[in-house]
A = this chain, B = another copy of it.
């Protein structure tokens, strides 16, 4: 059975769930590092393991180092690691694999929206993996499969593209929900009334291309409704977002985006 001794670097959303997920599947979380001490302590309590907030105290004895910090910290941390020939990976959607200068480097990127306050289902979390050495690719693939995840071999350029696409599909659609909630709350209507619509919109994508199931005033060029909506929204940010997206949807059939 695969059993690795792992150091988790970072104590944010990804570290929080990945550490626990790997531990639950029999991996040994050897140590947690985080620059500020309180999150390091919280995560070490969750995982019942050692912690440190000093880079020089990061264990030299692990098989695998998972850098799950913010993107801009990956380079510096990986350079500071005092290791021999162990595998070092980051979990970023946007960073080059070669941001990590060690011979055995890699990427272990969970393609999911992750919050500490919400349980993460790894069966529902594809992993995009990349390594310099092919043996390490098998290792990361086994690790992801152990979690129950689907695995994709994705190079750095592809991963960056996926990351941009994910911002639209996830972060921006959630922001659309947020605007909806604000609009409804002014009338004391709960967002609950839109839940079936939100679920159905997402479900459709399982079987249809988004373009084929685009509905609404903009898609049917219903200028009458669009004008009423813009009047209701008056000026301001919601108005501007409505206008820009509507113009783009109207243009779908005229030219490529």
Contact = CB atoms under 8 A, between A and B. Distances in A.
A229 to B, nearest CB: 5
Interface in A182-209: 182-184, 186-187, 189, 191, 193-209
Contact of A215 (B13, B169, B176): B13
A117 interface: yes
Chain multiplicity (copies): 2
A189 B155 CA distance: 12
A212 B175 CA distance: 11
A257 B179 contact: yes
The binding surface of chain A is classed by DSSP as helix
- Interface residues of A toward B: which range? 35 or more
A177 B205 contact: yes
Contact of A118 (B71, B193, B213, B249): B213
Interface in A129-170: 150, 152, 157-158, 160-170
8 contacts: A118-B204, A158-B187, A162-B194, A165-B179, A165-B180, A167-B229, A182-B256, A191-B210
